[in-house]
Amino acid sequence: MVHIHWYPGHIAKAEKKLKELVNLVDVVIEVLDARIPESSVYPDIKKLLGEKPRLIVLNKADLADEENLKKWINHYQQKTGFPVIASCASKNNDISVIVNKVTELSKPKIDKLVAKGLLTRPARVIVVGMPNVGKSSIINKLIRKGKTKVGAKAGVTRQQQWVRVNPKIDLLDTPGIIPLKQEDQARAAKLAMVNSVSENAYENEEVAKALLEILAIKYPEKVKNYYNLEDEISVESISKSRNWIVRNSEPDIVRTSVMILKDFRDGRIGKFILDDFS
Ligand SMILES: Nc1nc2c(ncn2[C@@H]2O[C@H](COP(=O)(O)OP(=O)(O)OP(=O)(O)O)[C@@H](O)[C@H]2O)c(=O)[nH]1
Ligand SMILES: [Mg+2]
């Protein structure tokens, strides 16, 4: 069993800060890790965002099982009613899709302002997500598209840096980092597998073992091929196949666990999705 240690005090603070940021915007870009489309969702996202329009971005799609990802995209579109897209840092064409979807999502709000007799203005947007899912990569791509920084806005409580992506979109230049609260330990373990959890919060050996247990059920052939395994998929068998042995002919579990996690995170073993539809 994997144990992930959270820090409740930090979580309460992070939640408050995130709420403040979300209050400044019209549209939220929610970034999830495509390898764990369910486990990278913030459990309290509905409470946090209310009815605020949301674009769901399944990032790191280059590391995810493509066929399965399509199913997840449909699933989330139906479940949430919001647009859902896949993206990855190495491609630039997904940025125009993000820009178009965000413009569409903000239109009702902007139209409402105009209907009230107010001046039209660009939609205000923030990118939120769990640690390490790729928020900064997406922000940077959007900013490169826009380039012009606009000053801190008047009338907001905190001085924030906004960037004009185009005449219709202002982006908050700070990612909203979702606090790492996850009471469900199985989901928390998956967050650790994709490197979304600080390394101090878990043991590599436990997380690597749990990862192999999932892969052995969902993608056994890929793991066997990559590590040249005959039959059994385990940290021990991989350690032996690599000939990583310590004193007394014991498999080097520590070193092998670190390697397995790195191989998985770098996409070397294959493209995977670890979650199941719930
Ligand atoms: N393979 C792959 N790696 C990605 C992708 N997007 C981001 N990364 C990598 O993932 C790591 C984290 O990306 P960031 O953009 O810094 O993520 P973040 O959400 O801003 O992270 P925090 O600010 O720490 O919460 C970096 O090493 C990126 O290079 C992607 O689409 N595919
Ligand atoms: Mg970042």
Per-residue model confidence (pLDDT) at position 156: 43
Whole-number Å distance between alpha carbons of 129 and 42: 8
Per-residue model confidence (pLDDT) at position 22: 92
**Closest approach atom of ligand 1 to CA 89:** 31
Does residue 196's CB lie within 6 angstroms of at least one atom of ligand 1?
no
Give the distance (Å) from ligand 1 centre to CA of residue 43.
21
Does residue 39's CB lie within 6 angstroms of at least one atom of ligand 1?
no
Does residue 254's CB lie within 6 angstroms of at least one atom of ligand 1?
no
Give the distance (Å) from ligand 2 centre to CA of residue 135.
5
Per-residue model confidence (pLDDT) at position 18: 87
Per-residue model confidence (pLDDT) at position 155: 43
**Closest approach atom of ligand 1 to CA 131:** 25
Transcribe 254-272 into DSSP letters.
HHHHHHHHHHHHTT-S---
Mean pLDDT by 10 residues, the chain (278 residues): 73 83 94 96 87 96 97 95 94 90 96 93 94 91 68 50 90 81 85 91 96 98 96 95 84 95 97 91
Give the distance (Å) from ligand 1 centre to CA of residue 269.
19
Number of helices (H), then strands (E), belonging to the chain: the values are 10, 10
Radius of gyration of the chain (CA): 21
**CATH class held by domain 8-177:** alpha beta
How do residues 231-252 score in pLDDT, each as one tens digit? Answer: 999 999 999 998 888 878 889 9
In which residue ranges of the chain is CATH 3.40.50.300 found? 8-177
Structure tokens at 94: 């997904």
What's the whole-model pTM score?
Answer: 0.92
Structure tokens at 141: 């791509």
